[in-house]
Chains A and B, each alone.
Chain A
Amino acid sequence: MKKFFSLLLAVVMLLAVMPAVHAEEPVTIRFSWWGDAVRHEATLKAIELFEQAYPNIHVEAEYGGWDGYTDKLTTQIMGGTAADVVQDGGHFQTYIIYGAQYTDLNDYLDIIDTAHFSQSLLESYCTVNGQLISMPTGVQAWTTLQNTSLLEENGVEIPQRWTWDALVEASRKLHEADPEAYMLNVSMETMTNWLFPMYIQQKVGGTVINNNYEMEFTAEDLTAYLTWLEDMWAANGLQGRSEQLLYDGSPLENPKWNGGKLAISMCSSASYSWYVYDEYLKEHIDVVDCFSFPEGEGDNDTIVVPPASFYNIPAASQHKKEAATLINFLLNDLDAGRAQGTVRSLPANSEVLSVLQAENLVDAGIARAVELGSPRACINRGTPTGLNEVQNVLADYIEQIAYGQITAAEAGPQCYEDIQEALEDVQ
């Protein structure tokens, strides 16, 4: 009898202790992001704080530059080997079209506090089919960085806000004054994925390609955009395509940028520090208002302001709870907020943003970009706008125009038809 009760007591004690043992079981989660050295350092610091707060969760950091990140992420998502927490530039919306699965963060709202986030931001950019797929890492605006002194030295008049046509005229003047200088520093991705939607949404309003795969613009609208690009090349506002090609993955690496021969670069405000990275650039670059049509032309003067990036948890993750804990810490913890500062643009958490503003931790350039851009926020351009099939068609025709193989007037209708065909193919 004594032995029986001793055994029973031992079992009861074991059962009582087991949940605690289970709760403390160390877990390793993977966290992937892209960025520059400044962002990496800040994020690693935040991870350190997280591991101090949650000693049983170890975070394996997987980070690198932007160039190639999307290719790697695509392969990982397709193969089910992505990290537990993934920083994503909005591509998850496209991946979902192709069948990728993500964790519905609505199931983890007991861990992730969304009280200090804009609900309209969460609904517009983070929710797909009623599921909260991701959390925004920051609020941002498409930013125009201008080398004002380059323009002034070459006698180019600078308006308060550039219009699309004024850029063409200014390009001509700049290149005549300095044959080594060009107006815009852009990659093919900028031309297809940022300027094109911006142009269309300013001209026409609405989305670009809505979620029913319908183009909300006409062939004439597309031709107008391609004509603008054609005019920019003719006016030497853009470098020759063969030179642009070298820096397609990373326009900030173009030696003409920090060599003071490129007047305007464009980027997300979250990438501000990547583009303004040395003493020359810090001294000469100003954040200015993004281009638009003149007042009265076009329906809008909107610019793109999706969140700088997103954190999501792929469905294949084996540690969703721990991943949600990390996301909550990075976005809601004030010390983590201080450590990260504005490396992902202004924090989307209003409480963290207030603290950073009060403690003077907000980068002035980023703040200015968001201040200029936020009032001009456009609606979500529609997920199919970013589909690779659509982007590839645009890139093909833009390249043909760049090399003079086709005129914009000829390219517009053909490109429109090919995009239509690509959208039908995808569905």
Chain B
Amino acid sequence: MTQSKFKLFLRNNKGFLFILPWLIGFLVFKMYPFFNSLYYSFTKYNLMKAPVWLGLGNYIRIFAKDKDFVPSLLVTLRYVILVVPIKLLLALLVAMLLNRTSWVMNFFRTIYYLPSIVGGSVAVAMIWRVLFSETGVVNAFIGAFGLRAQTWLSPSLALFTISLLNIWTFGSTMVLFLAALKGIPKDLYEAAAVDGVPRLTVFFRITLPMISSIIFFNLLMALVNAFQEFNSALLITGGGPLKSTYLYGYMLYDNAFVSYKMGYACAQSWILFAIILVLTIVIFKTSDKWTYYDDGGDF
């Protein structure tokens, strides 16, 4: 390439130069492990010995022989069904309550956003364990209302308890809803008020459709996040009791770092990827029917 052609190339592709640092990081730290794990999923590999090619051996074993695969998937689905709707509903409800102009609202917005910063970190997970112990604060609190103390980490309640940790971090979802609510043109509400439209109808016919694009985004993010949950299962319950919190993410960790089956865990992670991909495609394909974009939704 002559010098002038090279200069022309650079001039026409300046944007890539600006994003080059990110691009290199993306390729090295995301794409390389991504495709590497695909290769390892077809091998027997424990990081300490060279990988041995197995072909589809890992995948066949997962579907035909692994006693934990389906139960773990079901536990994860239960977790997703518990977390995603509650988190979105709570975030929307709080956003609507905070959608007022007042200095007090700023304070509450900060308070509700804080949990999503500390999030499901290790420290918070350890505190969660203590809070929900039989002699913990939660039982003391409900006891003050005359309710019986619960065994929050029993097989029947443990999944709910760790779900609360994810739901508690609804702040970032709430902030997005709040931004969307503030973006709804006020004249729509004024017109509805003039026509005497009931408030519930206003909510379902104006508010929800106008924020549907943000609902779509939050739903997708919450779904992907919930399917990959791992911290709470590891730190609070260890996947128990009786594998009632044996989430898919925890099962991956167990196989990779406790049983030294890295190749097998890579195969399981690709199955999870496939599941999330299918769900994402379904949501995208159906979104045309229920999401509204001011600008028509074109990129």
Contacts and interface: CB of A to CB of B under 8 A. Distances in A.
Given A242-B134, A246-B133, A78 B238 contact: no
A307 to B, nearest CB: 24
B237 interface: yes
A405 B254 CA distance: 23
Contacts, number: 66
Contact of A245 (B46, B48, B153, B257): B153
Given A78-B260, A98-B46, A99-B48, A246 B242 contact: no
Contacts of A388: 258-260
B74 to A, nearest CB: 17
Contacts of B154: 242
Contacts of B241: 241-242, 245, 399, 402-403
Interface stretch (A7-15, A69-77, A192-200, A369-377): A69-77
B151 interface: yes
B47 A403 contact: no
A403 B155 contact: yes
Contacts of B130: 246
Contact of A98 (B134, B155, B254, B260): B260
A389 interface: yes
Given A389-B259, A405-B242, A243 B134 contact: yes
Interface string A238-267: 001111011010000001000000000000
B183 to A, nearest CB: 45
Interface in B246-260: 254, 257-260
A248 B48 contact: no
Contact of A79 (B47, B152, B243, B258): B47
B78 interface: no
A150 B28 CA distance: 60
Interface residues of A, number: 28
Interface residues of B, number: 27
Contacts of B152: 242
Given A242-B151, A399-B242, A405-B242, A78 B237 contact: no
Contact of A71 (B46, B129, B237, B257): B257
B259 A403 contact: no
A241 B155 CA distance: 10
A242 B153 contact: yes
Interface string B257-283: 111101000000000000000000000
Given A95-B48, A98-B48, A99-B48, A240 B260 contact: no
A334 interface: no
Interface in B64-113: none
A405 B135 CA distance: 25
Contacts of B260: 74, 78, 98, 388
B242 A98 contact: no
B261 to A, nearest CB: 10
B129 A246 contact: yes
A98 B49 contact: yes
B119 interface: no
Given A78-B47, A98-B46, A245 B151 contact: no
B240 interface: yes
A388 B253 CA distance: 13
Contacts of B158: 242
Interface string A395-416: 0100110110100000000000
Contacts of A77: 48
A389 B152 CA distance: 28
Nearest to A255: B135
A95 B257 CA distance: 12
A240 B242 contact: no
A255 B136 CA distance: 11
A405 B241 CA distance: 12
A152 B238 CA distance: 36
B259 A100 contact: no
Interface of B: 46-49, 129-130, 133-135, 151-155, 158, 237-238, 240-243, 254, 257-260, 262
Given A74-B258, A78-B46, 4 more contacts: A75-B257, A79-B47, A241-B241, A399-B242
6 contacts: A74-B257, A79-B47, A98-B49, A242-B154, A246-B130, A388-B259
